[in-house]
Amino acid sequence: MVLRYGAEWSRGQQHIGTGRKPQAVGLSAVPAGALSKQAIARELGLSIPTVNLLVSQLKEEGLLTLQSGASTGGRIPEIAYFRYDSQYVFGLEVTDHHLRIVLIDLAGTPLFHAYHDLPFRKEQSYWIEARSLLYSIMKQRNLTPANILGVGVAIPGVVRWDLHQMDFAPTLDLRYFDYRAVEDIFVLPVIIENEANAAGFAESWLQSRDQADGIYLSINKGVGGAVIVDHALSYGINRRSGEFGHMTLVPGGRRCSCGKEGCFEAYCSTRVLADLTGGDLAAFFRRKGEEPHLQQVWETYLRYLAQAVSNICVALDVPVVIGGDIALYLGNDFQHFIDMVEAMIPFSSHPYVSLSSAGADAACVGAALLLVARRLQLLPGV
Ligand SMILES: [Zn+2]
């Protein structure tokens, strides 16, 4: 199966393969949601015999249907419809205190989501409980395992998906966990991905598809991120690319959870704010309008965040998307924040900084989309 990035399958406003939008040229006789073989050949720079071969492979796998198109005077064209509903994918987000579940189709359209207060346990029984939640969703929707492409799982930790291994997830107290054990329990293909990488991938795929490169910053209790290069995640030598939270922002500064001093995370974790209002981040933002000392803390917080973002902009010159819990609250002060970032950048160009709109399900949607991308070979190196 060789449907790589660059193949665009229009489906109203959604299309698989990020980046370029489908070309309108030559498609006037083709209904929305389909491409003629000639258009596919033109889009991908392939010969018609090669397209015929690929199309029949995809048809055999149930991913395409072929129909005769309307004649425009010459030969009646064959139109290929990508079947986004031919299979579905589960996305899970596992944290120390909750389990989120989404079900998406192959275009990333969310069909179902749920949030469970289910603290993680380092026992087989945790995954068995998760399996029964998945299988009950399948039952409700009349789906069988054959309808499910697999399960993408987002976790707060370092993952070696090429080795099927979770290397280190401190908040889950996991080290060197071979996740094929989860695959055996689910009886479905499973991939596990770092949650910031997964959320960044969802952002890149669904929200910022016109941008080939970018940085996603995930600002929650922990601070992390993802590096997107040519629409795919860039992992780095040790699979730790995007660990922005442990860049030093203040030499000799506050102690960080990693043991170092002065890390970005020590200044911009949402704990810095929530700890002042009994651990409740929403309460911090409710109260800061009436309590000047909270407003002052917020201003200081914004300055550190602006410093880190401007450093990233200066170093990489790519769009930066800010996600995680802080994205819900930064909107009201966003122009003020952008002015701060701009003042810290020594060039006249405007920084491309925006807030994530991928929402609270971003990590589990991203983990599910990564499974789609890997299983269908949509992107090289994901
Ligand atoms: Zn640190």
| Residue 2 host element (H or E) | none
Q: Considering its fold, how many domains does the chain have in total? A: 3
Among 48, 82, 116, where does a domain finish? 82
Residues, CB-to-ion distance under 5 Å, ligand 1: 246, 256, 258, 260, 263
Q: Are residues 22 and 98 in the same domain?
A: no
In a domain, 175, yes or no: yes
**Range among 73-87, 156-170, 314-328 with highest mean pLDDT value:** 314-328
Q: Among 121-135, 250-264, 337-351, whose mean pLDDT is lowest?
A: 337-351
At residue 239, the pLDDT reads: 80
Q: Are residues 60 and 155 in the same domain?
A: no
In a domain, 204, yes or no: no
Q: Are residues 250 and 348 in the same domain?
A: yes
- 220 alpha carbon to ligand 1 midpoint, in Å? 14
The domain of 187 spans: 88-199+362-375
At residue 34, the pLDDT reads: 82
Residue type, position 97, single letter: H
Rounded to whole angstroms, how far apart are CA atoms 99 and 90?
12
In a domain, 382, yes or no: no
Q: Are residues 55 and 99 in the same domain?
A: no
- 242 alpha carbon to ligand 1 midpoint, in Å? 13
Mean pLDDT within 314-324:
93
- 159 alpha carbon to ligand 1 midpoint, in Å? 19
- 176 alpha carbon to ligand 1 midpoint, in Å? 21
Contact 167, 131 (CB under 8 A): no
- 33 alpha carbon to ligand 1 midpoint, in Å? 47
At residue 29, the pLDDT reads: 41
Q: Which residues are CB-contacts of 355 (< 8 A; sequence separation ≥ 6)?
A: 321, 322, 323, 327, 330, 331, 334
Contact 323, 219 (CB under 8 A): yes
Q: Are residues 187 and 92 in the same domain?
A: yes
At residue 273, the pLDDT reads: 98
- 267 alpha carbon to ligand 1 midpoint, in Å? 10
Rounded to whole angstroms, how far apart are CA atoms 363 and 356?
12
- 170 alpha carbon to ligand 1 midpoint, in Å? 13
pLDDT of 61 above 90: no
- 213 alpha carbon to ligand 1 midpoint, in Å? 25
Among 82, 97, 129, where does a domain finish? 82
- 308 alpha carbon to ligand 1 midpoint, in Å? 14
- 219 alpha carbon to ligand 1 midpoint, in Å? 14
At residue 7, the pLDDT reads: 31
- 261 alpha carbon to ligand 1 midpoint, in Å? 7
- 240 alpha carbon to ligand 1 midpoint, in Å? 13
In a domain, 2, yes or no: no
Q: Are residues 218 and 283 in the same domain?
A: yes
- 171 alpha carbon to ligand 1 midpoint, in Å? 15
Domain holding 218: CATH number? 3.30.420.40
- 366 alpha carbon to ligand 1 midpoint, in Å? 25
- 260 alpha carbon to ligand 1 midpoint, in Å? 5
At residue 357, the pLDDT reads: 81
What is the DSSP code string of 99-153?
EEEEEEETT--EEEEEEE-----SSHHHHHHHHHHHHHHHHHTT--GGGEEEEEE
Is the model's pTM score more than 0.85? no
- 362 alpha carbon to ligand 1 midpoint, in Å? 24
Q: Are residues 129 and 191 in the same domain?
A: yes
Q: Predicted confidence band at 161 (pLDDT cuts at 50, 70, 90)?
A: confident
The number of beta carbons lying within 10 Å of the beta carbon of residue 288 is 20
- 243 alpha carbon to ligand 1 midpoint, in Å? 9
In a domain, 123, yes or no: yes
Domain holding 50: CATH number? 1.10.10.10
Q: Are residues 17 and 74 in the same domain?
A: yes
- 224 alpha carbon to ligand 1 midpoint, in Å? 10
Q: Are residues 215 and 351 in the same domain?
A: yes
Q: Are residues 104 and 60 in the same domain?
A: no
pLDDT of 146 above 80: yes
Among 20, 51, 82, where does a domain finish? 82
Rounded to whole angstroms, how far apart are CA atoms 290 and 67?
64
In a domain, 1, yes or no: no
Q: Are residues 224 and 351 in the same domain?
A: yes
In a domain, 142, yes or no: yes
Quick one: how far is CA 73 from the chain centroid? 45
- 250 alpha carbon to ligand 1 midpoint, in Å? 11
- 312 alpha carbon to ligand 1 midpoint, in Å? 17
Q: Are residues 214 and 349 in the same domain?
A: yes
In a domain, 34, yes or no: yes
